[in-house]
Each structure stands twice: as structure tokens, then as C-alpha cells.
Amino acid sequence: MSGALRSVSPWDPADELGVFPSADAHAVDEAVGRARKAFPAWREAGFEARAAVLRRFADRARERAPELAELVAREVGKALWDARAEAGLLATKVDVTLDEGLRGVAPLEPAAGQRATYHPRGVLAVYGPFNFPAHLPNGHIVPALATGNTVVFKPSELAPAVGAWMARLWREAGLPVGVLEVVQGGAETGRALAAHEDVDGLLFTGSYAVGRALREATLDQPHKLLALELGGSSAVVVLADADLDLAVAESAFSICATTGQRCTSARRLFVERSVLEPFTEKLVGVLRGVSIGAPLDEGVFMGPLVSQQAFERVARERARAAEPGGERLLLVEPDLPSPYTGAGLVRFASTRQEHPYQREELFAPEAALYPVDDLDEAIAAVNDSDYGLAASVMTRDRRHYDHCVGRVRTGILNWNKGTVGASGRLPFGGIGKSGNDRPAGISAALYCTFVQSHLESDAGFDPASLPPGMPRP
Ligand code: NAD
């Protein structure tokens, strides 16, 4: 072990959630070794035995969701409504995986004598981000375990207590020793895990920069599965015929949920010129009124940013909005210490998006408004992004939305619903810098397995089947 992570609440310096030894390369090696040793028995245990453990985990997760919600609120500063929603998803993930998620890995039998079967890869490493420190790693862990893999889980270094809580719950549910190992730590621990030769795949949710680093770290191991869920710069299109109150409510929610720290947070709003003024006025009014405060207080919508470091980075980036010609319409500065912050809104005169302020993920409740003349200009503007995670189209006319389907290059495209929020019953993933085409959500079981194809026959030898020139045995 090298060093330790001390977890302190970002909004209450007196609230220390624990000290967690960081795993060095040796400790990572031992954890991977235990997971490797546990793999054959877990694979051979069969689906029903594994599902029974998963169901016990789900039952406990349901019972103890309030405890987890409070821990998430304390450790990463999520408002209670948001933390409760996240905590509730742990059990739902098990239900959905066992009911529907495994259909994607059911044997294929296209014709008599032809079959394909799906099998666990072995030891999978799961990396969690801080913004959904329980739900997102759980979204990899559950399908990985259900399909017979063992897991080495590295929680976010900003949420080690949540990671440790989850591991405890699995133990209490009766998961055999070694089937889920936890290694705490930051980048160094993550690198040691990624490079380990006995890890068969990396299931990662986090930033583009780290996703890229994982790709680089595994260049010499092209056989190692890499499933990357990365960042975003999500967009809302508001057409002239939209229900403006709905468009404002959905946009404000998508900008502010989780204090703008969601991969699907709305960052770019493309609004048809004829409704730009009324839309902007209503949106500014709503954003100004968002309640900001201590995450454990009922009625608070937004907690703080995750850390002082994040606060400083966001402040620096916000100050650059004027460089490409942005006009700041709003910056709410709550009467609270950093890292609390409020919503920001900046207007641009055209859809040109060349400056890093406009192109890079900010991870804060801050959006840019752009006027558009028609739907096709809006589609081109949405697609003018390095990312491709989520977009929404606000219109009363379904035909406008249908025109966007497939033309907007994002993994998620919603109609009259904001960019945040997703169904666990659907695939979840993005294109461009948002991932590497291995969608999670309902599709996650697929990347947890390898496929074996079979030609099968119980017929005896038929001499007529021999090609000319091939002698009979
Ligand atoms: P991050 O990339 O900083 O960290 C993610 C994980 O990678 C952490 O566990 C971290 O310790 C680890 N890590 C850091 N450096 C590493 C390295 N060199 N090698 C191996 N591991 C390393 O992400 P974050 O700040 O915790 O989370 C926010 C990011 O996650 C945002 O970019 C957000 O958009 C993205 N995200 C994406 C999705 C999605 O589903 N697409 C969902 C949530 C968050």
C-alpha cells in the first residue's frame, strides 16, 4: 500500500468519512490474483446461483438505500433528492439485468446445427466516476457478475467511502471471497490495474482524458476489452413551436441537476430566433430561483461542486466566456462558501463554436445559448461537437423530431424531455469523444462476455459429404 485517501465532505470540512489505504502495484496485483483465483468457481456456479446472490444484494440495497443516499450526499455533495434517486438505482439495475439485460447474451440459434453462446471474459476491472459513485460502477459490476466474471473495482478517489459501502453490501449478500475485490486509490492505482496482464477488460466511466490514457496504456494489449463511457457536451434544440414552459423546465433541469456534473448535462441550447427572447427571459428567471444549499437539507435542488479544485477550474473557464464573444446573461453566486456555485448562462450571436469554452466539457451548471434560423442549422450546430452523448428536441410537431433521428449524431436523442435522465432498459452510450461504441445500460452484458460460435451435428459419417479428391477414411 502507498499512502491513503482521506475522504472529507466537500461542504462540511468537519465531516470526515474515513481514511482508505491506497493500493500500490503490489496490492493491485494481489487483488487481481484473488479475483483470478475466484473466477473458475464463480463461472461454474451457474446462472441461478449467481442470480440468487445478486437478488440478495438487491434486497439489501433497497432496504439500505436511505443510508447510501446520505453517504453520497455527504461524500460528493449531491442534493438529497438526487442522491436518493441514485441509491434507488442499485436494486433496479439488478432487476433489469436479470429480467431483460441477459437477453442480449442468450444463445443464438439461426438454423439447425448452428449456435453461438456467450461466456464470461474472466477478471474485469471497473472504474467509477465521482458523479454517480454508486450507480455507474454498479452498472458495470452487476452485468459482469451476472455473466460469471469476477471484478476488481476501483472507486473514484473522491468517493472511497461509497465504494467501501458497496463492497460491504456485496459481502453481506454472500458474494464469495475474491469475486469482487476493491482497490482504493487515484490515478496511480488506476494505471496499475489497467496495465495488469491478468485483467481481461476495463469497464470505465469517466472523463475523455482518462479514457484516452487507458487506450494508450493498453496499446500493447489489444486483446484487452475496453468499454469506455466518457464525457459530453449535450445540446437542447428549442423550436419555435415548442411548449416554452416545458422547454424552459427541461433545459433548467438538464443544466442544474447534480450541479451540472452529469455526463449528459445540457451545455448548449440552440433556440429558434423567433422564441429566443421569451425563452431566455423565462430560463433566466428559473435558473435564478434554483435553491442551492446543504445537500442534506430537504428542498435543496443543488449542492456544491465536488471539490475546491473543481470550483477553481470552473471559475477559470467561466471567466473565458467573453473571449469568443459570449455575453454573460447570468451567474448566480450564492451567499455560501466555495465549492458552492450557481447557474450560469452565456449568449452567443452565431452558432460558431471554436473556443475551448464552447467545446470542452465544463462539468458545472453553465450553458451557452445560440440562436438558430431553422431545424437544419440546429442539427448542424448540435453535430459541431467533439462529443456525441445526448441531445433533446423541444417541439410540438413530432415530424421535426423524427427529422433529427439519426441525423443528430448522439447516442441519446430525446423528444420533449431533457438531456439528463436515461432508461436502464435502453442502451446508454455516446459517439465521438463520448465513448468507444460499447454502450452500457441494457447492453452492458454484451461487453462482459465473449462469443463462441458452434457448428453442431449428431449425424454419423456421410461419404457423400466429401468433396472430390478427399479419400474416405
Ligand atoms: P475521471 O476520468 O477523472 O476519473 C474516473 C476514474 O478514473 C476514477 O476512478 C479515477 O481515479 C480513475 N483514473 C484517473 N486517472 C487515471 C489513469 N491515468 N489511469 C487509470 N485510471 C485513472 O472522471 P471523474 O471526474 O470522476 O468523472 C467525471 C467524468 O466522467 C466526466 O467527464 C463525465 O462526463 C464522465 N462521465 C461519463 C458518463 C457516461 O456514462 N458517459 C457518466 C458519468 C460521468
Local confidence pLDDT in tens for the 473 residues of the chain? 569 999 999 999 999 999 999 999 999 999 999 999 999 999 999 999 999 999 999 999 999 999 999 999 999 999 999 999 999 999 999 999 999 999 999 999 999 999 999 999 999 999 999 999 999 999 999 999 999 999 999 999 999 999 999 999 999 999 999 999 999 999 999 999 999 999 999 999 999 999 999 999 999 999 999 999 999 999 999 999 999 999 999 999 999 999 999 999 999 999 999 999 999 999 999 999 999 999 999 999 999 999 999 999 999 999 999 999 999 999 999 999 999 999 999 999 999 999 999 999 999 999 999 999 999 999 999 999 999 999 999 999 999 999 999 999 999 999 999 999 899 999 999 999 999 999 999 999 999 999 999 999 999 999 999 999 999 99
In whole angstroms, what is the distance from residue 156 CA to residue 4 CA? 13
In whole angstroms, what is the distance from residue 264 CA to residue 391 CA? 8
Q: Whose CA is nearest to atom 9 of ligand 1?
A: 156
Judged by DSSP in three states, 17 sits in: strand
Burial label for 26, CB within 10 Å (0-12, 13-18, 19+), is exposed
Inter-CA distances, 17 with 157, 212, 278, 283, 357, Å: 12, 31, 46, 37, 34
Q: Is 183 in the pocket of ligand 1 (CB under 6 A)?
A: no
Residues involved in catalysis: 229, 263
Phi, psi torsion values for 443, nearest 5 degrees: -85, -5
Of residues 382, 383, 418, the one with CA closest to residue 247: 418
Q: Is 125 in the pocket of ligand 1 (CB under 6 A)?
A: no
What is the distance in A from the centroid of ligand 1 to the CA of 404?
30
Of residues 375, 349, 382, the one with CA closest to residue 233: 382
CB within 8 Å of 88: residues ≥ 6 apart = 62, 65
Q: Is the pTM of this model over 0.85?
A: yes
Ligand 1 atom nearest residue 207's Cα: 32
Question: Which residue is listed with cell 450560469?
Answer: 344
Q: Is 307 in the pocket of ligand 1 (CB under 6 A)?
A: no
